[in-house]
Amino acid sequence: MSNGISMERVDQIIDSYGSKRHHLIAIMQDIQAEYKYLSPEVLERIAEKLHIGVAKVYSVATFYENFSLEAKGKYIIKVCDGTACHVRKSQPIYNAIREYLNLEGKQKTSANGLFTLETVACLGACGLAPVVTINDQVHSKMTPESMIDLLKQLEKEDAANE
């Protein structure tokens, strides 16, 4: 176990592709779908089982924007910054979230590990702009204020579930 990732499960996923090196991307996608990110231990295990250099695996993982090498929060917030959302003021929403979560510099995940903030180019829901998704649930016609209310509500729910 490392950071909640079960290496047995990782092995299972790699084996399900017959440990073939040309399935590298598919393997990484499956593991990320399960754990939301790829830890160094995971990349090393993949390299070992596929008999390729860990530098090569790291190379592929860093080439694609979609792969994350950092642990993500419980709630993944994606603020759409496509053209429609942008002109309907998605940027202030993004800034409000950053401020509320105290994110600095390149930091994407809040200190308490609850939220991860990302942007996305277009969700294809331009009629609902500006759009924000939280764990793939769509929230439409957002404002900075409604966004903060939503975050507060999620924090409350989370505290209640603990």
Binding site for another protein (CB under 8 A): 40, 43-44, 47, 52-59, 62-63
DSSP 88-151: TTHHHHHHHHHHHTT--TT--B-TTSSEEEEEES--S-GGG-S-EEETTEEE-S--HHHHHHHH
Q: What is the DSSP letter of 70?
A: S
Measured CA to CA, the distance from residue 148 to residue 146 in angstroms comes to 6
1 vs 55 by CB, closer to another protein: 55
In whole angstroms, how close is the CB of 5 to another protein at the nearest point? 16
Q: How far is the CB of 144 from another protein (least distance, A)?
A: 30
How far apart (Å, rounded) are the C-alpha atoms in residues 6 and 159? 26
For the bound state, the minimum distance from the C-beta of residue 64 to another protein, rounded and expressed in Å, comes to: 8
Which C-beta is closer to another protein: that of 32 or that of 110? 32
**Taking the complex as a whole, how short is the minimal distance between the CB of residue 43 and another protein, in angstroms?**
7
Q: Residue 37 or 100: which CB sits closer to another protein?
A: 37
